[in-house]
Structure 1
Amino acid sequence: MGRGFRAVRGHARRAAAARRGRAGRGRSGDGGPGGRGSRRGPYHRGDLLGGRVVIAAGVWSREVCASLGVRIEMAAGKGYSFSVPAESVPKRLVHPCSAKAVPAPLGKGVPVAGTMEFDRDPDRFRQGRVQALVAAARPYLPGAGWERREQEWMGPRPMTPDGLPLIGPVPGRPRILLATGHNMLDLMPAPAAGRLVAGLLTGEADPGLAARVRPVPIGPAAPGTGRGLSG
């Protein structure tokens, strides 16, 4: 999972950098905002041409949209985890609400996860957060090898102000769709989000559902009245 997040982050940054590098120069087939033609996007084997583009890069979608001159109202809610060897592995997930740390059985080790850290930098790893998880979970796992923990990991959740995802056309650029902001639901809404994105691309989306999660620009005269984006 950690490698996967780094791969998404790296691709998002390359896409944003490539977009910024082309800004103002123009390219054949770009079509301009709302115009005709194909959209061109960077890919690890070269550029790809397509009639529509979907930005689905988690919290790093902010960087891609920023390269288009659009700001996403989305924060990185970072969660931390690690795996610790234990003499007695729990038979089921343990959720001590007061501790804010969740040990769960998995193989010979016990993954421990928790924390919601809001940070402007989605990539910054704070070792102190791991130490806080150790202190919180220690009473619930006697005999665990806390100093032999492995797979320390951090993942930034894409958090939106109203808790709803941002799925729909980027304002002013109807051929570019945004699909991010799933907050703490991780992969659970992926099938429904995929169906909605497919419906938006084919014109068969549920209009009521699409309206609820559609990114709406925040107007300068009335800040905070739209959802998610400002240009």
Structure 2
Amino acid sequence: MTKALIVGAGMTGLATAWHLQEYGYEVEVVDRIGVAAGSSWGNAGWLAPGKTIPLSNSSLWAYGPTALFDKHAALDVPVRFDPKLWRFCANFMAHATGRAWDKTMAGLTKADLGALAAFDELEAGGVKATTHESPFIIGFENEQKAGGFLKEVEGAQRHGQEIPFEQITLDDARVHAPMLTDKVGATYRMGGQRFIEPGPYCQAIADSIVERGGKVTTGVEVVKVSSTRKPAVKLATGEWLHADNVVLATGAWLPKLAKDIGVTTLIQAGRGYSFSVETDQPATCPVYLPDPKIACTPYQGRFRIAGTMEFRGPDEPFQPGRIASMIHTTKPFFRGIDWEDRQDEWVGSRPVTPDGLPLVGATKVPNVYTNGGHGMWGIILGPLCGKMLAKQIETGEVDETIAPFDPLRGPFGGL
């Protein structure tokens, strides 16, 4: 039986392993910490193709410089001597144009259109987890502040997505999101999207892999990739593991192995924070505040509040000030929340590329592949990219869905 070793037990790695099992592969997933231990655990869990869009856009030219000096801004870049960080930021900003946005959106659209069906396939195949269909409520302080978001929705629609989207009254919004205050002066409802509890969902995929004869091994750190007749990875212990195929799905930690496999695309940890709170009335649907960039989701009877894009190293310490800033910007828009009763405070490192496209496919080392670089979209695109990569490993065919995600496209993406 052909063996595949998948490094990384987040959504992308687990989905790749599961789909390789569909082709009859013997699979083992290894992770240095545990299932969903990185950015796959504490995110908002949105399965929202209508919001799976390029991160870099022209509004950054006005927002970015002011964010550097606003401690409460959703974008946080530490002002310090860090050549790699500033090289990434320069290239990220180089993609903040309308032309680059359209090019990235065109590259994402086929994946966006197939993303939800990939979750249905996992569940039909025995993964004991469920996606939740629900309207998404979007709130702004006033109509004027909605312009940028409406432009993004129009852009996704222009590239081929059908997104049910309408303006509603605050009273209508409160039917689904009773926590909204009167400070919310403009509200919209987006349909056709879903959400999950991401950590439990990833664990369900891992359980399914094991139930079907695969292995999920934690506490295993890979420090080097090599290949002679077959690819192999070296562990921190000095031991080597061999397989017929190796998939690197290590997220923001991929740069540690990139030089071994010829991947030069820049990857920066874009760290997101989250916590959960109680609400006076049960939260039943996702709520988005685009101005402070706060994404909220029902989570295990509570309300998960997620946000920020913090460009730091993936292993840097948790920054409590980021949580304080999220509360500061969100509190005026929400009522009926005990902000002191916070649980599950978390930071996770999302792997961001300059052009906003993932890195999915073959590397320069024979039979070594990557599935990562999804930025904020690893949860929603992970199952589909896992399916498409498994197909490529089995058949050698690069599906058009992931063709724009070539991991060897160069350090700066499409520029």
Q: Decide: shared fold, TM above 0.5.
A: yes
Bigger helix share = 2
Comparing both chains, which one has the higher relative contact order based on Cα–Cα distances under 8 Å and sequence gaps of 6 or more?
A: 2
Summarize the Cα distance change of 1:164–1:133 in structure 2 as closer, same or farther, 3 Å threshold: same
Q: Which amino acid counterpart does residue 174 of structure 1 have in structure 2?
A: P
Structure 2 CA distance for aligned equivalents of residues 92 and 55 of structure 1 = 34
Summarize the Cα distance change of 1:138–1:194 in structure 2 as closer, same or farther, 3 Å threshold: same
Summarize the Cα distance change of 1:5–1:203 in structure 2 as closer, same or farther, 3 Å threshold: same
Summarize the Cα distance change of 1:70–1:103 in structure 2 as closer, same or farther, 3 Å threshold: closer
Structure 1 CA distance for aligned equivalents of residues 230 and 400 of structure 2 = 29
- Aligned match for 2:221, one of 14, 27, 40: 14
Q: Which amino acid counterpart does residue 154 of structure 1 have in structure 2?
A: V
Please list, as runs of the form range in 1=range in 2, the aligned pairs for 1:13-162 lying within 5 A after superposition.
14-16=221-223, 19=224, 30-31=227-228, 37-42=229-234, 47-66=240-259, 71-162=264-355
Tell me the TM-score normalized by structure 2. Answer: 0.43
What is aligned with 2:74? none
Structure 1 CA distance for aligned equivalents of residues 281 and 361 of structure 2 = 48
Please list, as runs of the form range in 1=range in 2, the aligned pairs for 1:217-228 lying within 5 A after superposition.
218=410, 224=412
Query: Does structure 1 conserve the Cα–Cα contact (< 8 Å) formed by 2:279 and 2:302?
Result: yes
Aligned length: 205
Query: Does structure 2 conserve the Cα–Cα contact (< 8 Å) formed by 1:81 and 1:113?
Result: yes
Question: Which secondary structure does the structure 2 equivalent of 1:105 belong to?
Answer: strand
Question: Which secondary structure does the structure 2 equivalent of 1:187 belong to?
Answer: helix
What is aligned with 1:177? 369
| Superposed CA RMSD | 3.4
Gaps of 5+ in 2: 1-9, 11-32, 41-217
Deviations 1:159-197 (A, max 9, x none): 1111111112222x1221111111221221123212221
Bigger strand share = 1
Structure 2 CA distance for aligned equivalents of residues 162 and 12 of structure 1 = 32
Q: 1:72 Cα shift? A: 4.3
Question: Sequence identity, in percent?
Answer: 28
Q: 1:114 Cα shift? A: 1.1
Tell me the TM-score normalized by structure 1. Answer: 0.73
Summarize the Cα distance change of 1:60–1:86 in structure 2 as closer, same or farther, 3 Å threshold: same
Summarize the Cα distance change of 1:116–1:132 in structure 2 as closer, same or farther, 3 Å threshold: same
What is aligned with 2:37? 5
Query: Does structure 1 conserve the Cα–Cα contact (< 8 Å) formed by 2:280 and 2:336?
Result: yes
Query: Does structure 2 conserve the Cα–Cα contact (< 8 Å) formed by 1:103 and 1:137?
Result: no
Structure 2 CA distance for aligned equivalents of residues 38 and 215 of structure 1 = 20
Q: 1:91 Cα shift? A: 3.9
What is aligned with 2:123? none
What is aligned with 1:34? none
Q: 1:141 Cα shift? A: 2.8
What is aligned with 2:395? 203
Query: Does structure 1 conserve the Cα–Cα contact (< 8 Å) formed by 2:251 and 2:351?
Result: yes
Structure 2 CA distance for aligned equivalents of residues 113 and 160 of structure 1 = 21
Gaps of 5+ in 1: 24-29, 32-36
Structure 2 CA distance for aligned equivalents of residues 114 and 97 of structure 1 = 10
- Aligned match for 1:164, one of 353, 357, 362: 357
Structure 1 CA distance for aligned equivalents of residues 39 and 283 of structure 2 = 33
Query: Does structure 2 conserve the Cα–Cα contact (< 8 Å) formed by 1:12 and 1:63?
Result: no
